[in-house]
Chain A
Amino acid sequence: MKKSLKIIAALLFSCALAGLAQDSTEVIVIPKTTTHIVPISVSGFSGEADAVLKFDLSVLGLELTNADKADYLVSGTEDAGRLAGRLKQGGAGGDIFARIYSSGTSRSQAHAFADDIVKEIRGTPPIFQSRIAFCRKEGANMELCVSDFDGHDVLQMTHDGSLVATPAWSPGGRNLFYTSWKSGYTQIIEHEAATGNRTVFAAYGGGNFNAVPSPDGSKVAMILSKGGSPNLYVSDRNGGNLQELTHERDEASSPTWSPDDREICYVVRSGRASLHKISANGGNSTLLRVGISGNLTSPDWSPDGKWIIFTAGSGNFTLWVVPARGGEAEQLVAGEDPCWAPNSRTVIFTRQVNHNPVLSLLDVPTKHVKDVGQISGSCSQPAWAR
């Protein structure tokens, strides 16, 4: 009796499924998962396109597996300078999209396809054709480099035989701001990325560090010590109308803007280093409560405004993320000096591999880490063009 009941149940179930399949207007949609590793398979590609797809997808915590275990199937071909790509649901699922990519190189087509795949699965905006800047050790010196986010096409931007530090992009990635020691003292340099034209943005007495343009491009925050102690200053985009925002005896460092340009989060070392916020117009500062103690440094505010990621520790650094209004910070992975991608989900940071700094990419919700293996050498202080 039981056996026949089971068979009837199975028959009814498969009829129901068949009924669904025959109803062409109803589609079973797998919800966009954000916090889990998602198994995915990639087939049909070779060479650069294959390598690009596999790297990009893994950056967003999509784990390569065989088709029979995958939630999503990526397939396609390259032919006559065009990439044809298809994303399907795993199992008996249907197509999600099929698209042809015809402009640009094989790499850029694969990046565009990967961005579309990620948009379907993670719901996040594109990042795979964006750029990063970073500092690279050259002997006893440091020079500024830019590259694709995945470390391809590295371009050395400075050849000063000196030190550089704390690069930051202007919104849209047109200009880079960084501190250079080429004059014998610290100066903030403004450097037009496409042309190489440079001007001295700030060269006050004392230290000139860590210039960061505001998200709307109208202002620049920076750390200057011309007042006798390193403090947070804000100027107009052309360097004029300089305002001293903090007046700390023990010093300020690492400003980061809220995406609405209204506030700056920064570090003050009074006893332990802690995180603070202040209005971009000045006034009283408030402590950012994060629920942990220790040296808290190098914050970065996510472009969607929701999160502040920062570094904790002295030497054995770990990354933590906290809601931007404050709260209980969550521990992420070992690493330092994080910078959000435009998607407010991926972060580039520095991690130590046998005491050598390398650049690495973190998928914050899954804590999945993918090194930027394409870049060799000692690299640090990454900044993502947003």
Chain B
Amino acid sequence: MKTLSLVSIVFVGAALTLGLTGCVHKPNKNFTVLPDRTRPSATQPATPAETNPGPGTSIPPPSDVQKMPDGSIPYGTNESPWTGVIKDGKPDATILKPDTVYFDVDSATIKKTEDKKLEDVAAFLKGHQADALRVEGNCDERGTEKYNLSLGEKRALAVREYLANLGVDARQVVTISYGKAKPAVEGHNEAAWSKNRRDDFVVLIPKD
């Protein structure tokens, strides 16, 4: 009798566990990544393109990117001619390396000294319509990680806005922040810090 009830308890326990979790999981070793929950509301279009047809081969969907009154340029949610290359493109960090933009401490303002570089980047993007650009924002070590993640992102967005004001389609440009995690120069003085407060440019080239 005792054995029977013990077995039934184990059985019920296992059934409950299975019911609650759906399957048996190995602790901390295999990660199950479920689909994104990025669609925030019903206003999202439900037709993801399988492949990026590329500009010139079909009429791209209209841009849903509008500059705000305060100058900010939100991200659109519609597919763009660059959705595919942004997702799958081959990154090239060398082409526009000379144009790395530098910032003053605690600032995301684009200095006059950097204008020429951004004109160069804009010209490149206009002349390479199949490519996209990833702007990588970075900070020096003198902020906390939380502060620096936002500041690095703001630095990248500032360049995206600047390029859009030069006529680049904002959908061709994406941003990423590394905070202080990827210094260009190790060191604990202004010589190093000034080289780390930067936006790097990574060109994304279609794979084919």
CB within 8 Å of B: which residues of A? 135, 140, 142, 155, 157, 163, 165-166, 179, 181, 185-186, 194-207, 209-210, 223, 225-230, 235, 238-240, 242, 249-254, 267, 269, 272-273, 295, 297-298, 311, 314-315, 317, 336-337, 355, 380-381
Contact = CB atoms under 8 A, between A and B. Distances in A.
B123 interface: no
Contacts of B188: 355
B105 A195 contact: no
A230 B37 contact: no
A297 B147 contact: yes
A314 B197 CA distance: 14
Contacts of B182: 140
Most chain A C-beta atoms within 10 Å of own C-beta, residue among B27, B29, B77, B174:
B27
A349 to B, nearest CB: 10
A269 B146 contact: no
A171 to B, nearest CB: 19
Nearest to B146: A254
Contact of A297 (B28, B146, B161, B174): B146
A165 B145 contact: yes
B176 A253 contact: no
Given A200-B33, A206-B75, A228-B73, A166 B151 contact: no
A192 to B, nearest CB: 8
Contacts of B142: 314-315
B32 interface: yes
B138 interface: no
Interface string B1-19: 0000000000000000000
B150 A228 contact: no
Contacts of A242: 40-41
B68 A207 contact: no
Contacts of B40: 204, 235, 239-240, 242
A225 to B, nearest CB: 5
A194 B157 contact: no
Given A198-B32, A204-B38, A163 B178 contact: yes
A269 B151 contact: yes
Contacts of A181: 176, 178
Interface string B66-82: 00101111111100000
Given A254-B144, A315-B142, A227 B106 contact: no
A-B interface, 4 closest residue pairs, ranked by CB to CB distance from nearest: A205-B75, A228-B72, A315-B142, A253-B150
B57 interface: no
Contacts of A205: 75-77, 174
B159 interface: no
